[in-house]
Amino acid sequence: MEVTLDPGRIGVWTGLLDSLPAARAVETVAELESMGYGAVWIPETVGRDALVHAALLLGGSERIVVATGIANVYARDAVTMANGARTLAEAYPDRFLLGVGVSHEPLVARVRGHDWGRPVTYLRRYLQAMADAPYWAHRPSADPPVCVGALGPRALALAAELTWGAHPYNVTVDHTAGARELMGPDAFLAPMAAVTVESDASRAREIGRQTLGFYLDLPNYRNSLRRQGFDDEDFVDGGSDRIVDALRPWGDVEKVAASVREHLDAGADHVCVQVMNLPGDELPLDGWRALASALVG
| pTM, two decimal places | 0.96
pLDDT score of 279? 77
Tens-place pLDDT, residues 55-79? 999 999 999 999 999 999 999 999 9
* 40: confidence class by pLDDT, cuts 50, 70, 90: very high
Q: Per mean pLDDT, which range of 38-52, 138-152, 169-183, 277-291 is the poorest? A: 277-291
pLDDT of 193 above 80: yes
Question: Reduced to 3 states, what is the DSSP secondary structure of residue 110?
Answer: helix
Query: Please, are residues 17 and 54 in contact by the beta-carbon 8 Å criterion?
Result: no
Q: Which of 44-48, 104-108, 201-205 shows the lowest per-residue confidence on average (mean pLDDT)?
A: 104-108
Query: Does pLDDT of 19 surpass 80?
Result: yes
Residue 108: what pLDDT? 62
Structure confidence at residue 281 as a pLDDT band (50, 70, 90) = confident
What is the mean pLDDT of the segment spanning 218-239?
95
Q: Domains along the chain?
A: 10-295 (3.20.20.30)
User: Looking at the predicted structure, is the pLDDT value of residue 109 above 70?
Assistant: no
Helix (H, G, I), strand (E, B) or coil at 72: strand
Cβ-contact 53, 83 below 8 angstroms: no
* pLDDT value for 98: 98
pLDDT: is 194 or 45 the higher one? Answer: 194
Q: What is the pLDDT of residue 83?
A: 98
Lowest-confidence segment of 4-18, 65-79, 98-112, 176-190 by average pLDDT:
98-112
pLDDT above 80 (res 110): no
pLDDT tens, residue by residue, 239-261: 999 999 999 999 999 999 999 99
DSSP string, 210-268: HHHHHHHTSHHHHHHHHHTT--GGGSGGG--HHHHHHHS-EESHHHHHHHHHHHHHTT-
- pLDDT at residue 111 above 80? no
> In Å, what is the CA distance from 232 to each residue of 153, 170, 211, 225, 227?
21, 16, 18, 10, 12
Q: How many Cβ atoms are within 10 Å of 254's Cβ, its own excluded? A: 9
Q: How confident is the model at residue 166 (pLDDT cuts 50, 70, 90)?
A: very high
Sign of CA dihedral 72, 73, 77, 83: positive
Residues 6 or more apart in contact with residue 168 via CB below 8 angstroms:
149, 150, 151, 156, 175, 176, 179, 189, 191, 192
Output the pLDDT for position 264. 98
